[in-house]
């Protein structure tokens, strides 16, 4: 899709605001370090002009890392918290690069404490600037000052999800003008509140008539030859064309193109957690945080154990076989929240809302996610991670692997006490397909900051906790 003048102006404004935020960070860091700093300065403080000269070299370094982390992309469907986390990563690497440069520049000695303060202040000022810009951009798009008109080809579950997303997220500026359906009886009717404008078979004629900014194909009946013709037609009309990945059961954004001779081959990129260094970082983080949580929550453990015993005098802990990374089976620990032998008559079944098998104290523990605390020992043992796809029982794994494409892909990494799907409400008796999409998104976009974000969100994630 061509870049609009408004997008260019907004990106220029973003660029200028970032530069102003870094400039303010340098000024405030200098003032704190040399004018009002706690640590005394020996002799006369360095001239401010020296730090202003350094800004000429620092700004390009910032911009290089901002661009590397996608902070200057024209369109980004990310939440504000994700934007701030990307700013933290970009600023951190920029400061490390600047610190390394000071070792080779001997004409003037820059304060290391100044750089530490610059790191904190840069994150603060750039994050505030970005937050205000995003809020302003959101309001413009909600007022439909700048929208992308979308035409959907196909009337199915993916269509329904896109329409709902566009309606509940107007700040992203996408407006579905209509749907094309393969079923003639749907023409003229409404699909999730959007008019079915015509038949999928007549898509070229209807695209030329309505002239949308973007066409999204989610009709699984289209052949590859038909898709190729449609791509060429949309390119000729200067219309953005996209295909729903679910058409091929991929359910992923992690697709890479590899060429053998002149033949393009589609495949999945390696996961970030396939890298041994990333695994080491994640494992180290798991151990440090798990020990810290155990130390802080131990009095709570004792209270829970006493309450469970008082409630029905049954065992405090409950161990259940689950499947983890590489399909390895392990015994998952939980505080017992169900009656003893709750599945003796029913066999393996999922917990449901208002489940009669729960104990009184069990209802409270599940509501606030406290029943999961003993899984910290699973993390310390190495069976699980703090964050990852929730491990499932082998009985259900065998059931889902036959009916849900790519379900077993979630077993390529360690299971987690909490996960991206769970903090977004997909837990308990909810859609496995949707849960899998969130699990795959986490796997393909893992970072240590992503883990921290999920852990923080877990503290407030009580939806479907039963």
Q: What is the pLDDT of residues 151-173, one digit of tens each?
A: 999 998 888 888 988 888 887 77
Within this chain, do residues 154 and 302 fall inside the same structural domain, yes or no? Answer: no
Q: 77-81, 216-220, 236-240, 322-326: which has the minimum mean pLDDT? A: 77-81
Within this chain, do residues 339 and 378 fall inside the same structural domain, yes or no? Answer: yes
Number of continuous H segments (helices) and E segments (strands) in the chain = 14, 12
| Residues 6 or more apart whose Cβ sits within 8 Å of residue 97 | 61, 65
Within this chain, do residues 84 and 158 fall inside the same structural domain, yes or no? Answer: no
Residue 338: inside a domain: yes
Residue 432: inside a domain: yes
Q: 75-79, 203-207, 292-296: which has the minimum mean pLDDT? A: 75-79
**Phi then psi for 74, rounded to 5 degrees?**
-65, -40
CA distance 38 to 117: 12
Within this chain, do residues 152 and 105 fall inside the same structural domain, yes or no? Answer: no
Structural domain ending residue among the three candidates 116, 142, 168: 142
pLDDT of residue 466: 45
CA distance 17 to 122: 12
Structural domain ending residue among the three candidates 89, 120, 142: 142
Q: For the chain, what is the mean pLDDT?
A: 83
- Greater pLDDT, 160 or 77: 160
The domain of 82 spans: 5-142
Give mean pLDDT, residues 391-405. Answer: 88
17 has pLDDT over 80? yes
CA distance 291 to 377: 9
Within this chain, do residues 300 and 428 fall inside the same structural domain, yes or no? Answer: yes
Within this chain, do residues 186 and 222 fall inside the same structural domain, yes or no? Answer: yes
For the whole model, what pTM was predicted? 0.61
Within this chain, do residues 234 and 278 fall inside the same structural domain, yes or no? Answer: no
Residue 265: inside a domain: no
Q: What is the DSSP string of 227-288?
A: HHHHHHHHHHTT-EEEE-GGGGT---S-EEEEEETTEEEEEEPPPGGGSHHHHHHHHHHHHH
Residue 10: inside a domain: yes
DSSP structure class, residue 426? -
Please answer whether residues 449 and 89 qualify as being in contact, where contact means their C-beta atoms are separated by less than 8 angstroms. yes
- Token digits of residue 356: 């009669």
What percentage of the chain has pLDDT greater than the value 90? 34
- Count of domains observed in the chain: 3
pLDDT of residue 47: 80
Within this chain, do residues 130 and 108 fall inside the same structural domain, yes or no? Answer: yes
Within this chain, do residues 220 and 358 fall inside the same structural domain, yes or no? Answer: no
Q: 105-109, 214-218, 329-333: which has the minimum mean pLDDT? A: 105-109
Residue 267: inside a domain: no
Residue 262: inside a domain: no
Residue 258: inside a domain: no
Residue 253: inside a domain: no
Please answer whether residues 425 and 437 qualify as being in contact, where contact means their C-beta atoms are separated by less than 8 angstroms. no
Give mean pLDDT, residues 245-272. Answer: 62
DSSP structure class, residue 392? B
Within this chain, do residues 216 and 282 fall inside the same structural domain, yes or no? Answer: no
Structural domain ending residue among the three candidates 248, 263, 294: 248
- 425-428's contacts with Cβ under 8 Å and 24+ in sequence apart are 425/461, 425/463, 425/464, 426/464, 427/390, 427/463, 427/464, 427/465, 428/350, 428/351, 428/352, 428/353, 428/464, 428/465, 428/466
CATH number of the domain within which 206 lies: 3.40.50.720
260 has pLDDT over 60? no
Within this chain, do residues 342 and 423 fall inside the same structural domain, yes or no? Answer: yes
- Token digits of residue 147: 């929208």
Within this chain, do residues 351 and 323 fall inside the same structural domain, yes or no? Answer: yes
- Token digits of residue 451: 């883990």
């Amino acid at each position: 899709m061509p870049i609009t003048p408004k997008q260019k102006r907004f990106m220029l404004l973003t660029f200028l605001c970032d530069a102003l935020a870094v400039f303010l960070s340098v000024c405030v860091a200098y003032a704190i370090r040399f004018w009002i700093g706690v640590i005394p300065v020996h002799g006369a403080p360095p001239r401010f002009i020296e730090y202003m000269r350094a800004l000429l070299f620092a700004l390009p370094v910032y911009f290089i890392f901002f661009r590397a982390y996608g902070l200057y992309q024209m369109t980004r469907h990310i939440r504000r918290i994700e934007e701030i986390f990307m700013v933290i990563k970009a600023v951190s690497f920029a400061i490390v690069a600047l610190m390394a440069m000071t070792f080779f520049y001997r004409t003037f000695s820059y304060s290391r404490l100044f750089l530490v303060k610059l790191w904190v202040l840069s994150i603060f000022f750039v994050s505030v600037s970005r937050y205000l810009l995003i809020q302003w951009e959101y309001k413009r798009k909600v007022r439909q000052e700048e929208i992308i008109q979308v035409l959907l080809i196909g009337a199915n579950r993916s269509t329904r999800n896109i329409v709902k997303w566009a309606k509940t997220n107007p700040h992203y500026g996408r407006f579905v003008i209509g749907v094309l359906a393969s079923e003639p009886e749907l023409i003229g009717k409404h699909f999730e509140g959007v008019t079915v404008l015509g038949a999928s078979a007549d898509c070229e004629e209807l695209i030329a008539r309505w002239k949308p900014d973007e066409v999204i194909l989610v009709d699984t009946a289209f052949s590859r030859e038909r898709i190729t013709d449609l791509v060429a037609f949309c390119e000729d009309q200067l219309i953005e064309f996209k295909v729903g990945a679910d058409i091929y059961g991929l359910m992923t954004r992690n697709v890479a193109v590899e060429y053998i001779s002149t033949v393009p081959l589609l495949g999945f990129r390696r996961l970030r957690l396939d890298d041994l260094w990333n695994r080491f970082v994640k494992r180290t983080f798991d151990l440090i945080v798990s020990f810290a949580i155990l130390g802080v929550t131990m009095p709570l453990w004792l209270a829970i154990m006493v309450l469970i015993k008082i409630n029905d005098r049954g065992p405090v802990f409950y161990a259940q076989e689950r499947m983890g990374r590489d399909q390895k089976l392990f015994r998952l620990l939980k505080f017992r929240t169900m009656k003893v032998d709750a599945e003796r008559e029913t066999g393996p079944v999922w917990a449901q809302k208002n489940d009669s098998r729960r104990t009184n104290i069990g209802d409270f523990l599940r509501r606030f996610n406290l029943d999961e605390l003993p899984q910290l020992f699973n993390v310390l043992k190495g069976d699980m991670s703090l964050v990852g796809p929730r491990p499932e029982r082998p009985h259900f794994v065998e059931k889902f692997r036959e009916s849900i494409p790519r379900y077993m892909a979630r077993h390529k990494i360690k299971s987690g006490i909490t996960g991206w799907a769970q903090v977004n409400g997909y837990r308990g008796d909810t859609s496995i397909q949707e849960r899998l999409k969130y699990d795959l998104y986490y796997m393909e976009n893992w970072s240590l900051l992503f883990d921290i974000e999920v852990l923080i969100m877990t503290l407030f994630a009580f939806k479907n906790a039963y």
